Structures are given as structure tokens and as C-alpha cells.
Amino acid sequence: MSILTTNTIILNATAADKFEAIRLAGQLLVDAGHVPPAYVDKMIEREEVSSTYLGGGLAMPHGTNDSKSLIQSTGISVVVLASEVDFGGEAARLVIGLAAVGDEHLDLLSSLAVLVSDEDDMERILNASSKEELLRIFEEGMES
């Protein structure tokens, strides 16, 4: 099972608030078989404790520490929002849902952080015209 596929990507999504955006990202992980629906509730719970906004228009919601046992396989989901959503006073347009088995989340976080910290790559992600194009950007960026 791949960490990211076209089935775990939504382009031009609309969300009324950060919780709706998190539910979109979480449901993609559920549909792909990475996590059960209860993990999405843990993503919401985690956001209520502390914002998962990382800067530069990116939020990376994930479950609480006690939800690790729920994760069936490592995966990410990517939601590109049509318009910004408020994440604790910060505006996000890219929401990356994260579910990682064991210590894989550290490697995953660092490779994702490198990819999205590059302004050109972030611009390419936000302007991707297809799920396939977005998937290529992530595959290339996470390999380097």
C-alpha cells in the first residue's frame, strides 16, 4: 500500500472551518484503509489541544499520542483548499493528514517539511491541475 495515492488527494476542496478540513483529510485516510473512523476523532481531539498549523499555509493534522494503536498502515492525505481556512489565527490552504506506524512519522514529517518549505514546490502543490500532477510533485520531493 502506498503512502500517498490519487485516492488520498482532494484538489480545490471547500471547508467551512479547520475541523471540516481535518475531517476531509482524515476520511481520505479511512477510505484508503490506513486508519479506522475513530482516528479522525483523535485528529480533531489533537487539534483542540494544540494547532497543527506549521506555517507557510500548511497544516498537518494527526492523531493524539494515544491513537497510535489505531493506525493500521502509514499514509498521508493531501487536501488543497480552494480558499484559506483559519487554523488558530493562521491561514492554511494545504492540509496534509498524517498517520504513521511506529517511528515512521519522524521520517515522514522531515521529508514532508523539506518539500513544503520550498516556496516553489509549495506553489506547484497549490496550483496542481490534477491529482496525478500533485502525486508526482510529492513523489519527487520526498525522494530527494
Q: Which of 96, 35, 40 is nearest to 69 (CA)?
A: 35
How many Å from the N-terminal Cα to the C-terminal Cα in the chain? 21
Residue of 57, 62, 79, 94 with catalytic role:
62
Beta strand 53-55 with 58-59 is: antiparallel
Q: Identify the sign of the CA torsion 105, 40, 33, 139.
A: negative
Question: Cell 511506529 appears where?
Answer: 102
Give the amino acid at 92. Answer: A
Q: Tell me if residue 34 is catalytic.
A: no
What are the CA-CA distances from residue 89 to residues 7, 53, 71, 78 (Å)? 30, 9, 30, 21
Catalytic site residues?
A: 62
